[in-house]
Structure 1
């Protein structure tokens, strides 16, 4: 649904994006994770060409946006919704007026606008609040208005610019649950940027980790978890580095109740000391990471763990 190839963006002598490639599949929630200054917001604004890249191409829903003239680009943008960190609502307009604004720009007749606005407010949990002004809403309610407005044109793609970073934890959870539901019910492809690992763990199917204008690693959460040396895995499951000599780090997905360690102890006559670890519930299921020290005939035991689908990383 979204394909960015070789994106570069310069601001004078400052390199904001340095050869970024991005592949977002239709219907997935894709997170771009990184700290301030990593290039996340610039990348997002290049996807809908609010910022035109210095080099590279952006294709959305089969259209090369970087090749479209002005009017065609504007029509293509109508299929790309965007929600903002600080809501970007018009204070002089009511909730209904904010949601209706893009429909007015698109020339949608009034009766159809009113029907669509009512439908959208019900969808985001704000039925009956159409006559209120933004000043009367909480932060979470304002963001729900922003989401409803972004959905007004029936977009195929929803871009989220740090949509939860200005919200408290409970409200963040409710907004993430809403995005997850919209993804499932509407088949929306969602590209979100965030500096919060919790957001990636809670809703994302895939992720790209950015630093200094480059993508350091990218892929599905499941694939990255199984990749030796993955930065994503290290950040989700922080363990002291470097790993002690002779220790083994085990990463496993699926049912965390499987007794793989005790099975190895019984079958291969090895002793296991647990040095640290944890289990996390990610959007795709449970994942665990465990660091252990093994003594005895360890080679067959480690081969067995690999055969059970665990990622086994031995410290030298």
Structure 2
């Protein structure tokens, strides 16, 4: 649905994007994770060509946007919704007026426009608030208006620029729940940028980790969790660096068998648990356990754990 290849963007001598490749599948929620200055916002703005890359290509829904003229590009952008960090609502307009604005630009008639606005406000949980002004709304309600406005043109893709970073934790959870339901009910492809790991854990199917204008790691959450040395796994489970010989076990789902107990019985090994945690992700449960394993048939025990589907990493 979204393909970016070799994107490079400079601001003077500053390299904001340095050869970025990105692939987002239709119907998934894809998160771009990174700290301030990593290049996330520039990447998002290059996807809908609000920023034109110095080199590279962007293709959305089969159309290579970087080849389009201004008129064709404006038409293509109507299929791409955008949700902003600080809402970007028009203070002089009502809630309904804000949602209707892109429809007015598109030349949609008054009756159809009013009907669409009413549908959208119900969809985002703001039915009956159309006559209010933004100043009368909470932060979460303002973001719901922003989401409704972004959906006005029935987009295939929704871009989210740190949409929850200005919200409190409870409101953040409700907005993420709304995005997840829109993805499921409308088949909407969502590309969101964030510096918050909790956002990725809550709703993302796939993720790219950005740093200094480059993507350091990218893929499905489950795929990356099962990859030795994954940056994502280290971010989710910030365990201390292991000492030589220590073993880190990563597993998905809830084990149906007591594998640690079986390893002790079958291979006569001593297991010392050094730390660990279980996290509930959008992709399912993931656990990570740091152990020291000694004595008995240690190598056979490690083979047994791998055969049971665990990722086994031995330090050093």
Residue aligned with 2:129, SS: coil
Q: Which residue pairs with 2:280 in the alignment?
A: 281
C-alpha deviation, 1:269, in angstroms: 1.3
> Does 2:143 match 1:146?
no
Distance in 2 between the 1:167 and 1:257 partners? 39
Q: Which residue pairs with 1:204 in the alignment?
A: 204
Q: Is the 8 A contact 1:31 1:206 kept in 2?
A: yes
Residue aligned with 1:16, SS: strand
Distance in 2 between the 1:137 and 1:303 partners? 58
Please report the TM-score for the alignment, with normalisation by the length of structure 2: 0.99
Q: Which residue pairs with 1:41 in the alignment?
A: 41
Distance in 2 between the 1:301 and 1:11 partners? 54
Distance in 2 between the 1:49 and 1:260 partners? 51
Distance in 1 between the 2:95 and 2:28 partners? 29
Q: Which residue pairs with 2:80 in the alignment?
A: 80
Q: Which residue pairs with 1:124 in the alignment?
A: 124
Q: Is the 8 A contact 1:256 1:287 kept in 2?
A: no
> Does 2:230 match 1:267?
no
Distance in 2 between the 1:258 and 1:15 partners? 50
Q: Which residue pairs with 1:231 in the alignment?
A: 231
Residue aligned with 2:115, SS: helix
**C-alpha offsets along residues 65-91 of structure 1, whole Å, 9 cap, x if unaligned?**
000011110000000000000000000
C-alpha deviation, 1:271, in angstroms: 1.1
C-alpha deviation, 1:254, in angstroms: 1.2
Distance in 1 between the 2:24 and 2:253 partners? 24
1:1-316 superposed matches below 5 A? 1-241=1-241, 243-256=242-255, 258-296=257-295, 297-316=297-316
C-alpha deviation, 1:256, in angstroms: 4.6
Residue aligned with 1:244, SS: coil
Distance in 2 between the 1:310 and 1:302 partners? 10
Residue aligned with 1:129, SS: coil
Q: Is the 8 A contact 1:33 1:207 kept in 2?
A: yes
Distance in 1 between the 2:174 and 2:257 partners? 32
**C-alpha offsets along residues 251-281 of structure 1, whole Å, 9 cap, x if unaligned?**
0001156411112112111110000010000
Distance in 1 between the 2:140 and 2:262 partners? 48
Residue aligned with 1:223, SS: helix
Residue aligned with 1:301, SS: helix
Distance in 1 between the 2:27 and 2:258 partners? 35
Which 10-residue stretch deviates more, 167-176 or 261-270? Answer: 261-270
Distance in 1 between the 2:24 and 2:7 partners? 15
Distance in 2 between the 1:265 and 1:84 partners? 53
Q: Is the 8 A contact 1:48 1:77 kept in 2?
A: yes
Distance in 1 between the 2:125 and 2:261 partners? 48
Distance in 1 between the 2:86 and 2:262 partners? 52
Q: Is the 8 A contact 1:256 1:288 kept in 2?
A: no
C-alpha deviation, 1:136, in angstroms: 0.2
Q: Is the 8 A contact 1:10 1:16 kept in 2?
A: yes
Q: Detail structure 1 runs of 4+ shifted over 6 Å in the superposition.
A: none
Q: What is the count of residue pairs matched by the alignment?
A: 315
Residue aligned with 1:37, SS: coil
Q: Is the 8 A contact 1:4 1:20 kept in 2?
A: yes
Structure 2 gap segments, 5+ residues each: none
Q: Is the 8 A contact 1:256 1:279 kept in 2?
A: no
